[in-house]
Amino acid sequence: MSGTKADILLHPVRLRILQAFIGGELLTARQVAALFPDIPPATLYRHLGALVRGGVLHVDRERRVRGTVDRVYRLGSAILSQAELAGTSSEDHLRHFVTFVSGLVGEYTRYLRRGSIDLERDGVGYRMVGMYLTDAELTELIARVRSVLSEASENRPGEGRRRRLLATILMPIQDPEQPPPGEMP
The tens digit of pLDDT for each residue in 130-177 reads: 999 999 999 999 999 999 998 998 888 889 998 888 888 888 887 777
Q: How many CB atoms lie within 10 A of CB 43?
A: 12
Q: Which residue has the higher pLDDT, 136 or 79?
A: 136
Q: Which residues contact 92 (CB under 8 A, 6 or more apart)?
A: 6
Q: Which residue has the higher pLDDT, 1 or 68?
A: 68
Q: Which residue has the higher pLDDT, 10 or 161?
A: 161
Contacts 24+ apart (CB under 8 A), 150-153: 153/22, 153/23, 153/24
Strands 27-28 and 57-65: unpaired
The pLDDT of residue 76 is 84
The answer to pTM > 0.85 is no
Domain ranges of the chain: 5-123
d(CA 91, CA 97): 10
The pLDDT of residue 157 is 82
The tens digit of pLDDT for each residue in 102-123 reads: 888 888 988 898 888 999 999 9
CATH of 5-123, one of 1.10.3720.10, 3.20.20.70, 1.10.10.10, 3.40.630.30: 1.10.10.10
The pLDDT of residue 154 is 83
The tens digit of pLDDT for each residue in 23-75 reads: 778 899 999 999 999 999 999 999 999 999 988 899 999 988 788 888 999 98
